[in-house]
Structure 1
Amino acid sequence: MRLKQTQFVKIGRLFLPLLVGLVTAAALNLFRENAPIINFGIRVDLGMLLVLTGVLITLILGGVCFIQSRHRHHLQRTLMKYQHDTAQTRRRFLSHLDHEMKNSLTAQQVTLAYLQNVSDEAGTPRGLENLSIQVERLRKIVTDLRKLAELEEQTLERQPVAMDALLEEVLDAIQAHPNYDRRRVRFTLLQSPWELPPVQGDRVLLSLACYNLLDNALKFTEEGDSVEVRAFEMDDWLVIEVADNGLGIPEEDLPYIFEELYRGSNTQGRQGSGLGLALVQTIVKKHLGTVTVRSQIGEGTVFTLRLPTRPRRGG
């Protein structure tokens, strides 16, 4: 409706000079028996002159509007083509990277399995164990890259998701994390005066996003550190916070923390694919939400995930 009104206003402005000329000419003919005549070497009726002037201005404005419209259309098509080509290039890159790394990993795993069976007692198994860890990390990178590539084209099948139950399931699953027993993990679910509203979305993807945030907190904290998960409703948003008092993120790293394969400058030696947070951001954007981070070195980090909820009626 608003678009139609805007188009009507534009057309009205375009023909305004012609309308003014016609109205003025009609008024002159109405109130004067003989409309003024202007002599420019030829005799010209003033009313007719006004009408012709209105027509000329209208034609000029029409030409300008046409040129501007064509120019805008061309820019829009160029931008859309650029975005499409960029997305296509990125998908091809992820697909090729996935294929090449998967083949390499398969060969390494076969070799490792053979070497572990024939290794001697001179310390070779430890070297194989380290190599096995690196292979597992590469496998995780391939898996996460594949998920990112699939998310680029995936259309969400939105269903009501009970986030309180989902978070409890994620917390149950995260207990298998190797660092879980060495951290103090707490979960606070604010359900007063009513339970958390459902979120319209993909349950599997939302679960993955929450799991990745918890996994990230457990990886980048030390033994005895606290990890807190808080969930509550604020206005029309469901808010989930994952907070810790661990390493913290350097200020210069914060703008890039959600980029693919990016690892913070103070995370050397810690396992991770560098894709967990990129997956979180992609999933949250698919659900029309936001994810932000605030952090201080030596004090900790808070990731805040906001998801839109269904409209609520009263309390």
Structure 2
Amino acid sequence: MFWKIRAEYYRRINVRLTLIVTLAAAVSSIVVYALLLASLFIGFGDQDRGELDSRLLSYWAAWQYGGNDAVLNRASLDMKEYGGRPYLLMLDSEDGEMLGALIPGGWEQFNLKDPDLTNLTPGSYATLRAESLPYALLLTGVVLDDGTRLLVGLSTENHQFLVRMYQRNYPWALGAIILAGVLVGIISSRRLLSPIVRLNQEIDHIIITGDLGRRLDSSGTGDQLDGLINRYNRLLDRVESLIGGMKDTLDAVAHDLRTPLTRLRGHAELALGKGDAEEYEEALATVVEQTDQAGALLSALMDIAEAEQGMLSLEGVSCNLSTLAAEVSDMYELIAEEKGQRLTLEAPNEVLLSGDPVRLRQILGNLVDNALKYSPEGSCIDIRCGFSDETSWAEIIDDGPGVPEEETERVFERLYRGDRSRGSRGLGLGLSMVKALVEAHSGSVEISKVEGRGASFKVVFPRISEENISKA
């Protein structure tokens, strides 16, 4: 149980952040401690060697002017005038006999007759240690012209005292640093993770209540956590839009399937009531027709819903709108002839854009079919293509009754049928499909009234140049 609780505790991000901050502070303090300690040892050593070299040269010069007595007098005078750190001075004859010395109290415990001392020269040093003393003695020396050996020494007592104080107090400093690291880690982790905590709370609220209208306020800092909140809000916008589109689609499907299903049931019941083989055959034919109509309705509604929500799979290739318009014109030419209508095509050689050629044909086909449906016999439907610096466009102009101004926005609604189209065939989804597919291609649809003619439906797309095509 204990290990499970501890594992659960360590999985929390704020605990891990606190531990990381504390560990980083402790490791940094240890590194700084080690560097400072090394700097102290190096600095104290350089200082001691410099002072020894200075005293050695001073007494060497005094010996050259006045011999051993001058050295001892100079040393005594230095002690009286300057005081300071105690130091050792020894003058030994060539055979090891002591000719004179200044030895501070207690330093007799060092082995001043160590054979290694006989080999000292300016710039070389020896260190003596005594078991009963906590410090060492650093010495240097020189052999004078008459064979006398001059030794100068300093103790490391003061320096080692400072080092020991530093070492003794460091654990307290380390403890304070760790405590400060824990406090800083707790405070900073709470501040840093507060957006994530709020995000989790909002997600829990949405899961429980299903309310997709709630949004998190951005802190405005512009950091990664602020970006996470903004992305979360955009994700909710997208999810809310998708769910709204699904609800609208389901409502439309439920509404419009009711009519063909009712017809199916009515025809079946009528045929069963009469019990006539001919009636059965006619009822089955009607059932097949109504089933096809229901399937077409479902397919169109799903395509529109996917296009509106940005979920429709489009093949983005280079297309020539003029070529697509010519293919659509050829496809509907026979239908136009049956109604005594004419299709005219006005298009330059190349009107380039990037899009899905199948869906672009569907856009143009729906617009041409709509124009043929609402134009009288003997009328003319014009198909025009063109481009500007930034756009490629196609326009369908008919001789029909046009679109009333109050209906120009509503004609693109799913299943909407205006007053002038009540008796015409169709599902009421053609223009909805056009608008959804055009917007899926980052384009727009415009409706206008042409003087002396009927309605004009113009679809506009972003244009790509031949240079961009060659690069692609």
**Fold match (TM-score > 0.5):** yes
**What SS does the aligned partner of 2:304 have?**
helix
**What SS does the aligned partner of 1:232 have?**
strand
- Return the TM-score normalized by structure 1: 0.62
- Equivalent positions of 1:273-312 (< 5 A) are 273-295=427-449, 299-312=453-466
Aligned-pair CA distance for 1:157? 2.2
Q: Which has the higher contact order (CA 8 A, sep 6+)?
A: 1
User: Structure 1 297/131 Cα, relative in aligned 2: closer, same or farther at 3 Å?
Assistant: farther
Select 1:211's aligned residue among 352, 365, 374: 365
Distance in 1 (CA, whole Å) between partners of 2:370 and 2:232 is 40
State the AA in 2 paired with 1:185: R
Distance in 2 (CA, whole Å) between partners of 1:106 and 1:302 is 36
**What SS does the aligned partner of 2:408 have?**
helix
Q: What are structure 1's unaligned runs of at least 5 residues?
A: 1-65
Does residue 144 (structure 1) correspond to residue 300 (structure 2)? The answer is: yes
Distance in 1 (CA, whole Å) between partners of 2:382 and 2:436 is 23
Distance in 2 (CA, whole Å) between partners of 1:271 and 1:90 is 26
Contact kept in structure 2, 1:246 and 1:298, CA below 8 Å:
no
State the AA in 1 paired with 2:437: I
Contact kept in structure 1, 2:321 and 2:394, CA below 8 Å:
no
Distance in 2 (CA, whole Å) between partners of 1:297 and 1:140 is 36
- Equivalent positions of 1:249-264 (< 5 A) are 249-264=403-418
Q: Could you tell which deviates more after superposition, 152-161 or 277-286?
A: 152-161
User: Structure 1 100/248 Cα, relative in aligned 2: closer, same or farther at 3 Å?
Assistant: closer
Distance in 2 (CA, whole Å) between partners of 1:103 and 1:242 is 34
**RMSD, aligned α-carbons:** 4.0
Select 1:268's aligned residue among 414, 422, 425: 422
State the AA in 2 paired with 1:272: G
Does residue 119 (structure 1) correspond to residue 279 (structure 2)? The answer is: yes
**What SS does the aligned partner of 1:280 have?**
helix
User: Structure 1 162/112 Cα, relative in aligned 2: closer, same or farther at 3 Å?
Assistant: farther
Residue of structure 1 equivalent to 2:181: none
- 1:156-207 Cα distance to aligned partner (Å, 9 max, x none): 2211122222222212222354x5522432323332xxx2143211111111
Distance in 1 (CA, whole Å) between partners of 2:267 and 2:334 is 25
**What SS does the aligned partner of 2:428 have?**
coil
Q: Sequence identity of aligned pairs in percent?
A: 23
- Return the TM-score normalized by structure 2: 0.43
Contact kept in structure 1, 2:366 and 2:431, CA below 8 Å:
yes
- 1:105-163 Cα distance to aligned partner (Å, 9 max, x none): 5896698589495339xxx97x9999987766544322311222343312322111222
Distance in 2 (CA, whole Å) between partners of 1:130 and 1:108 is 9
Distance in 2 (CA, whole Å) between partners of 1:215 and 1:228 is 12
Select 1:175's aligned residue among 307, 311, 333: 333
Aligned residues: 240
Does residue 247 (structure 1) correspond to residue 401 (structure 2)? The answer is: yes
Does residue 87 (structure 1) correspond to residue 242 (structure 2)? The answer is: yes
Distance in 1 (CA, whole Å) between partners of 2:342 and 2:388 is 23
**What SS does the aligned partner of 2:409 have?**
helix
Distance in 1 (CA, whole Å) between partners of 2:323 and 2:355 is 14
Residue of structure 2 equivalent to 1:9: none
Select 2:342's aligned residue among 168, 172, 185: 185
Contact kept in structure 2, 1:160 and 1:200, CA below 8 Å:
yes
User: Structure 1 112/196 Cα, relative in aligned 2: closer, same or farther at 3 Å?
Assistant: farther
Aligned-pair CA distance for 1:236? 2.8
